[in-house]
Amino acid sequence: MESLEIKRSSVDPARPFTMDDLEAVIALRLHAITTEPNAFGRSAHLEKQRTMEEWKAQYFSAIGEHPSTVLDVVMNEGRAVGMLGAVPDEGENVWKLIRMYVLPEFRGKGLADDLFQAVETAVRNAGGTKLILDVNSGHPAAVGLYEKHGMVRTAVNHLQRSDGSEFDKCRYEKSLV
Ligand X SMILES: CC(C)(COP(=O)(O)OP(=O)(O)OC[C@H]1O[C@@H](n2cnc3c(N)ncnc32)[C@H](O)[C@@H]1OP(=O)(O)O)[C@@H](O)C(=O)NCCC(=O)NCCS
Q: Which residues bind ligand X (CB under 6 A)?
A: 36, 39, 100-102, 107-113, 135, 139-142, 144-145, 148
- Residue 96's closest CA among 174, 33, 15, 13? 174
In angstroms, rounded to a whole number, what is the distance separating the alpha carbons of residues 12 and 85? 17
In whole angstroms, the minimum distance from the beta carbon of 119 to ligand X comes to: 12
Of residues 19 and 43, the one with the C-beta less far from ligand X: 43
Nearest distance from residue 94's CB to ligand X, in Å?
A: 17
CB of 121 to ligand X, least distance (A): 16
Nearer to ligand X, 23 or 113 (CB): 113
How far CA 48 is from CA of 42, 51, 168, in Å, comes to: 11, 8, 27
- β partners of residue 96: 87, 132
**Least CB distance from residue 63 to ligand X, whole Å?**
23
Query: Based on CB atoms, which residue is closest to ligand X, 7 or 66?
Result: 7
Q: Beta strands 152-160 and 15-16: pairing type?
A: unpaired
